[in-house]
Amino acid sequence: MEINDELVQKITEELWRRLGPQAPAADGRPRLLVVGDSAVLQPASWAELQKHFEVLENQADCCVPPEAVLVTSLSLQALVRVAAGDEGCTPEGLALMTALLEGRPAAVLKSGLVWRRYQGTAPRPLLDRYVRCEDLLVSYGVKLVDEAEIIPALLGRSVGRRDPVQAAPASGRPRGRRRVLTEAEVRVACPAAGGPGQTLRLAPGDLLTPLARDYVQSLKIGLSRG
């Protein structure tokens, strides 16, 4: 048999597929690509991930697609671009868009959503935009999770309902906690079946998304703060 460059290349690719870091684990664990700083996860959470997945941390070496993707930090650019259906030339955007397009499970740590750090200082229209982007990601199938929810979310098990966004305190000055309420959350508090004249109680500084404000106006729901 003649050995040429093409044959060497095929043998190398096959060995890499079978024995490289992206090869399936011998015990059948699915491959999980972790994008971002894995150090943000508690040691116990990281150990639990490794029990259930063959964990990969180098996206550039993924010659075989992972079965699932976990993003530990999602930048403002990646959030906006992925919500618009574009990877945005960021590692996390590329990982999320590839997973979505290929129908693979994808999750983002809630604590890693960078935009949430600015809820105590950013203007309301900007916050509303990021809330809409986050809602779009959820509608695409991206799971927003706490550490305890990572494994069930990526293995297709049910997790708790999405919690209202809580504001992080602004650096250098204390602030009260602030929520950004979506239309779905307002509908739960004031269902359409209840008719007009209902009252929605808000804490000082709470925000409503544009769709939530439209719903409030359409049902003539009163707002009470305090």
Q: Which domains are delineated in the chain?
A: 29-161 (3.40.50), 178-226 (no CATH)
pLDDT at 168: 37
> pLDDT at residue 166 above 60?
no
What's the residue count for the chain?
226
> pLDDT at residue 1 above 60?
no
Q: Which tens digits make up the pLDDT trace of 6-56?
A: 766 666 665 555 545 444 445 577 888 999 888 888 888 888 888 888 888
54-56 vs 68-71, strand pairing mode = unpaired
Q: Which tens digits make up the pLDDT trace of 177-225?
A: 567 888 777 887 888 777 788 888 888 778 888 778 888 888 889 888 7
Average pLDDT on 137-157 reads 87
**Continuous H helices in the chain:** 5-19, 43-52, 76-83, 91-101, 124-140, 150-154, 183-189, 210-218
Q: Is the pTM of this model over 0.85?
A: no
DSSP for 23-77 reads: SPPTT-PPEEEEES-GGGS-HHHHHHHHHHSEEE--GGG-SS--SEEEES-B-HH
Read off the pLDDT band of 74 (50, 70, 90).
Answer: very high
| Residue the block writes with tokens 């930090």 | 73
Q: 79: closest CA among 118, 131, 141?
A: 131
Q: Are 192 and 219 in contact (CB under 8 A)?
A: yes
Taking the C-alpha atoms of residue 175 and residue 10, their distance in angstroms, rounded to an integer, is 61
Read off the pLDDT band of 4 (50, 70, 90).
Answer: low
Taking the C-alpha atoms of residue 107 and residue 200, their distance in angstroms, rounded to an integer, is 32
When mean pLDDT is compared over 15-24, 59-68, 85-94, 153-162, the highest value belongs to 85-94
pLDDT at 171: 37
Read off the pLDDT band of 155 (50, 70, 90).
Answer: confident
Average pLDDT on 59-66 reads 62
pLDDT at 192: 78
